[in-house]
Amino acid sequence: MLEVMKELMKSKDTCVLATVSGNEPHCSLMSYAVDEDCREIYMMTLRNTRKYENLMANPAVSLLVDTRGQDSPENRPRTKALTVTGRFERIESEEEQERIRNRLLERHPHLKAFAESPETEFFRIRAKSFQLLDGITDASFVSLD
């Protein structure tokens, strides 16, 4: 089942990122790229956002990657939804930032100007678990710890 989960992560390139500060959750639509093993998810954001403030205050996150956009109405009962639980990590080294920038721009060349902004922060989510819901009732969970 883990390979099915990884394939979904690799086949998509946008997700919903859920962050929290205090008792207030916040969701953001994000572009992403992954490493070969799907244990690292790479993203970028502007530093002056609520999302970034939340990430700095609380590194626990959840991501949702799903197939609802490709499913016709009659196939919606078979929609797949993958929840990734993970932790935010800042990227300190310039070499690592450049590697992640390049990985993101391979998947999202339309974000070049955004990636080149001096206000953009590159970061990674280190995945801790995957939970795949395939349809309404078929669920699978994999811990990556």
- Tens-level pLDDT at each residue, the chain (145 residues): 999 999 999 999 999 999 999 889 999 999 999 999 999 999 999 999 999 999 999 999 999 999 986 655 666 667 899 999 999 999 999 999 999 999 999 999 999 999 999 999 999 999 999 999 998 889 999 999 8
* Six-digit token string for 68: 């609802």
SS (H, E, C) the chain: CHHHHHHHHHHCCEEEEEEEECCEEEEEEEECEECCCCCEEEEEEECCCHHHHHHHHCCEEEEEEECHHHCCHHHHHHCEEEEEEEEEEECCCHHHHHHHHHHHHHHCHHHHHHHHCCCEEEEEEEEEEEEEEECCCEEEEEECC
| Measured distance CA(89)–CA(128) in Å, rounded | 13
Paired residues of 27 in beta bridges = 18
pTM: predicted TM-score of the whole model, two decimal places: 0.93
Q: Which of these, 77, 82, 72, 81, lies nearest to 130 by C-alpha position?
A: 82
**Any idea where the domains of the chain sit in the sequence?**
2-143
Class of domain 2-143 (CATH, top level): mainly beta
Q: What count of other Cβ atoms lies within 10 Å of the Cβ of residue 14?
A: 14
| Measured distance CA(135)–CA(114) in Å, rounded | 36
Amino acid sitting at position 115: A
Q: Which of these, 47, 28, 30, 29, lies nearest to 120 by C-alpha position?
A: 47
